Amino acid sequence: MAETDPLRAAMIEAAERQLASSSDHEVATRAVCEAVGVSQPVLYRLFGDKRGLLDAVADHGYERYAALKAAQERTGDPVADLHAGWDGHMAFAQANPALYQLMFTPRPWSHSTARERVTDLLVAALTRCAAAGSLKLEPRAAAQLILSANIGTALDHIARPALFEDPAPSHRMRDAVFSHVLAETPARQDADPLRTAALRLRAQLQLGGTEALEPVETALLRRWLERITQP
């Protein structure tokens, strides 16, 4: 297996280069094989078929995306970090338009986990917001709303690249969806105080846990908090 890993990586990189340079963002398996100097049966052995190759390219794109997120400075203000995360997502789309579309545009029969793993990164960021009392929704529900808006805005900008030059439209969309999921400071008067407290405690347990409870007690508490925070 170790002997095929470098070859597999080389074929993924060749496919990504072809994806970026192609006018129609298509990948030809023959051209990928020629670029690496192997026959097509090698591609089929490593990826199964062209769909498998595209899934591998999309998942490799996630690794690059995750590396950028890891390099993003984490401050003491999770809400500010969330704003920066939106802008970082847009910057990734601008720098990698063909790869971005492969990662986030639905493809029949795709088994790529790129989008789900990006969602998990966003959930982690939103859990920090919840622990600080700054989130009105359960983190995963909030992540689904934010990511849908972020992806839609990015794909619209990719279709009209000149839009990337002005951040205002992206920020208007960002502020609109953030106003729906983020709690105001101080807390809104019409907010459910019990649900707000449960959201915060649930996030804090997820981030740090507690030694005051036995594992079974912690699991039961998590279940109670989950029921309280359900919309």
Residue with tokens 């720098």: 95
Mean pLDDT of 188-206: 72
Q: What is the pLDDT of residue 2?
A: 41
- Say which residue, 203 or 185, is predicted with more confidence: 203
Whether residue 191 is predicted with pLDDT greater than 70 in this model: the reply is no
| Count: domains in the chain | 1
Query: Would you call 87 helix, strand, or coil by DSSP?
Result: helix
Residue 105 to residue 202: CA distance in whole angstroms: 33
Residue 43 placed within a domain: no
Residue range of the domain that includes 169: 74-229
Residue 31 to residue 35: CA distance in whole angstroms: 6
Residue 151 placed within a domain: yes
Query: Would you call 63 helix, strand, or coil by DSSP?
Result: helix
Residue 223 placed within a domain: yes
Residue 211 to residue 204: CA distance in whole angstroms: 13
Q: pLDDT per residue over 63-113, tens digit each? A: 999 999 888 888 989 999 999 999 999 999 999 999 999 999 998 889 999
Q: pLDDT per residue over 107-123, tens digit each? A: 888 999 999 999 999 99
Contact in structure between 57 and 19 (CB atoms under 8 Å) = yes
Residue 178 placed within a domain: yes
Helix and strand numbers (H, E) in the chain are: 11, 0
Residue 58 placed within a domain: no
Under DSSP, the state recorded for 74 is P
- On average, the pLDDT of the chain sits at 89
Model pTM score: 0.78
Residue 11 placed within a domain: no
Residue 10 placed within a domain: no
Q: pLDDT band at 189, cuts 50/70/90?
A: very low
Residue 60 placed within a domain: no
